[in-house]
Amino acid sequence: MNHLELPPLNRASGIIRLPGSKSISNRMLLLAALSEGRTEIRDLLDSDDTRVMLAALVKVGVGLTAIGCNAYVIEGCRGQLPVREADLFMGNAGTAIRPLTAALALSGGHYRLSGVPRMHERPIGDLVDGLLQIGADIRYEGNAGYPPLSIHPATVKLDAPIRLRGDVSSQFLTALLMALPLTGRHAVIEMTTALISRPYVEITLNLMARFGVRVEREGWERFSIPAAQSYRSPGVLHVEGDASTASYFLAAGAIGGGPVRVEGVGRESIQGDVRFADELEKLGATITRGDTWIEAAAPRGKLKAFDLDLNHIPDAAMTLAVAALFADGPCRLRNIASWRVKETDRIAAMAAELRKIGATVEEGADFLAVSPAPTFSSGAAIDTYDDHRMAMCFSLAALGGVSVTINDPACVNKTFPGYFDAFAEVAAPVIAIDGPSASGKGTVAERVAAAFGYHYLDSGSLYRLTALAGLRAGKALDDEAGLAALAASLPARFSAGRIYLDAADVTDAIRTEEISVGASKVAALPAVRAALLDRQRAYRRFPGLVADGRDMASVVFPGAVAKVFLTASAAARAERRYKQLIAKGMPANMHALLQDLQERDARDAQRSVAPLRQCDDADRVDTTEMSIDAAVAAVMVIAKRQGLRSR
């Protein structure tokens, strides 16, 4: 089986732009399909579960056009699905099969819905019972109460309230609520048990309202949809970031120092799982909120032990089960029975895997009690049960300073295909080496990277490439907007020690004195620096990164585990550059080199954005009198002092 080995980690900090919310994406897609008019949905989640919904809508004849960057235009069918007979594969996407079952049952066609084997073990009986009460024709093809299902045309009667259970999954209520306006008649749903996961129903009501349908709610017991309402497109909609996915990054900040900021959800969010941040706060984490972002940082010492009712955030609650490993005492997660019928039996799965890390775990029908171990077991191989959340949760265990192997890591594709790259962007260790040009930092950084088995980023080369591309495109080196646009889409590639711009090998072309001077000029332009920021951060990958430049420690990777300021006297640096150029057979003049270097130092140090300076928390290494070997050894000592291990 495919697996991913995460290295021992001890810190997390950084910023993550969240992928779109799964719950909102799939609801919006269905409502847009059923409504009158054309809807543009932006920032849709790109994942297995949304692809299941998209494919199903296409199969029933809904007009759908991808317009790039996770945006789609959907031609609403005014409640009349064009294709009246279809066999639909639902994978393991609960947020697709439940609402589609209800919508198709009221659509007057012949449909079949099936999924992966686990989907055929996930209950849908309460929803089908609700639909049968109003005359729908739905038949079980296998076990009663479970998919696969076949659906046939039927005459719907709505003279009595629909009586529905709400204690297995709130998605059954969501499905009925979204489908009933298709009848155009007054409909009432009465809950026969307490409703779980209520915040998800709030998302449903919120989105239905945006599509012009009002639901009257009496507590959480009775829902009524007034007659003569139908869905109308609101035009352009944005999907907010996924609040359940945010939980892994916020927990990483709360465990690994932080701050970790997630962008895409905040105070304004309509998702219940944003309340995960409130729970983290109860554990002692420092939480800061903006309208569209949330940030988490660790408390002094460990997280506080907790005993919490987590019924309102069933998905994000899984993240707390792993956070419990980092608490100062036994923890209890209560009222989580719905975990048993999710992608896997999550209570059993969580218990089994937490034990592999060394925790003592007691599992009950609807609770989990986790006593953290004094030390984490190293090298645990975590099974993920085809459950994206198991994989994402257990990546956090590596922050206990132990290596963790995640089996079948691709299961994260269900909601976040880029999860491990994003996790690396906040958790992979970084050694930041800054300093003036010709201080030897490039050579030292490369050798340190090799010794640790880490990736290497020569950030100066990005400024050099921008200068080269700018000059080749005939741009003036003070054309800030033009150069920033070039920097943002630089077709640069680093491969086997060579540097390419498109297909051209420019390794030597970017090292000329003309480009050195040009790079220093473009590097002083704030828009160019901003354009290169995300690109540099994307180099932060497992098992770790050594990055050299001028602002690695101060701006690009402020949370770097080790920060080194590598410097040497201007005379020593000019002499090194002189020898390098002569060795390459290039013309060189010692006096001119020294002067150039001093001018460049001044420009790098005096510019308004990200000037060259030693950070307060960086170690200074002066290489004026040092050999390369000695400089490498000095940096290795600094990195190892921070707990990093070389190969």
Q: Which is nearer to ligand DC, 188 or 588 (CB)?
A: 588
Q: What's phi and psi for 9, nearest 5 deg?
A: -125, 150
Residue with structure tokens 């944003």?
A: 274
**Nearest distance from C-beta of residue 488 to ligand DC, angstroms:** 16
The β-bridge relationship of strands 545-549 and 430-434 is parallel
Q: In 3D, which of 458, 436, 434, 439 has the Cα closest to residue 575?
A: 439
DSSP state of 555: I
- Nearest Cα to 440, choosing from 646, 636, 624, 637? 624
H/E stretch holding 405: strand 404-407
Q: Are 49 and 98 spatial neighbours (Cβ–Cβ below 8 Å)?
A: no
Q: Quick check: bond before 181 cis, omega within 30?
A: no
Distance CA 367, CA 359 (A): 16
Q: Could you tell me the CA-to-CA distances from 1 to 4, 381, 383, 429, 554 in Å, in that order?
A: 10, 12, 10, 27, 41
CB atoms within 10 A of CB 280: 27
CA distance 216 to 188: 9
Backbone angles phi and psi of 344, in degrees to 5:
-145, 180
Query: Helix or strand or coil: residue 571?
Result: helix
Pick the closer one to ligand DC by CB: 80 or 606.
Answer: 606
Nearer CB in complex with ligand DC: 252/556:
556
Q: 498 has which bridge partners? A: 495
> How far is Cα 442 from Cα 538, in angstroms, rounded to an integer?
19
Least distance from ligand DC to the Cβ atom of residue 259, Å = 22
Q: How far is the CB of 424 from ligand DC (least distance, A)?
A: 20
- Tell me the closest approach of the beta carbon of residue 540 to ligand DC, in angstroms: 14
- Can the peptide bond before residue 543 be classed as cis, meaning omega within 30 degrees of 0? yes
Q: Which C-beta is closer to ligand DC: that of 165 or that of 464? A: 464
| Min separation Cβ 597 and ligand DC, Å | 10
Catalytic (active site) residue 315: yes
Instruction: Show Cβ contacts of residue 289 under 8 Å, excluding neighbours closer than 6 positions.
Output: 266, 267, 277, 295
Residue 179, number of CB atoms within 10 A of its CB: 26
- Smaller CB distance to ligand DC: residue 286 or 512? 512
Bridge-based pairing of strands 360-363 and 367-371 is antiparallel
Torsion on CA atoms 492, 494, 499, 503, rounded to nearest 10: -60
Q: Are 457 and 546 in contact (CB under 8 A)?
A: yes
Binding site for ligand DC (CB under 6 A): 437, 459-461, 463-464, 519-520, 523, 549-551, 600, 604
Distances in whole angstroms, Cα of residue 168 to Cα of each of 295, 314, 347, 361, 366: 33, 12, 15, 24, 12
* Least gap, CB of 551 to ligand DC (angstroms): 5
- Residues 148, 153, 157, 158, CA torsion sign: positive
Residue 523 vs 635, nearer CB to ligand DC: 523
Partners of 88 in the β-ladder: 113
Q: Which is nearer to ligand DC, 368 or 532 (CB)?
A: 532
Nearer to ligand DC, 266 or 518 (CB): 518
From the CB of 438, what's the least distance to ligand DC, in Å?
7
Calpha distance 408→406 (Å, rounded): 7
CB nearer ligand DC, residue 23 or residue 554: 554
Give me the least distance between CB of 550 and ligand DC, in Å please: 4
Query: Please, which residue, 381 or 628, has the CB nearer to ligand DC?
Result: 628
Could you say which DSSP state residue 27 is in?
H
Closest separation in Å from C-beta 545 to ligand DC? 13
Which of 249, 244, 290 lies closest to 267 in space, CA to CA? 290
Q: How far apart are CA 379 and CA 614, in angstroms?
A: 37
For the bound state, the minimum distance from the C-beta of residue 466 to ligand DC, rounded and expressed in Å, comes to 9
Of 46, 126, 315, 619, the active-site residue reads 315
- Residue 314 Rama label (left phi>0; alpha psi -120 to 50; beta): alpha
Q: Which is nearer to ligand DC, 309 or 599 (CB)?
A: 599
Is the Cβ–Cβ distance between 173 and 102 less than 8 Å? no
User: Closest distance between ligand DC and the C-beta of residue 273, in Å?
Assistant: 37
Active site residues: 315
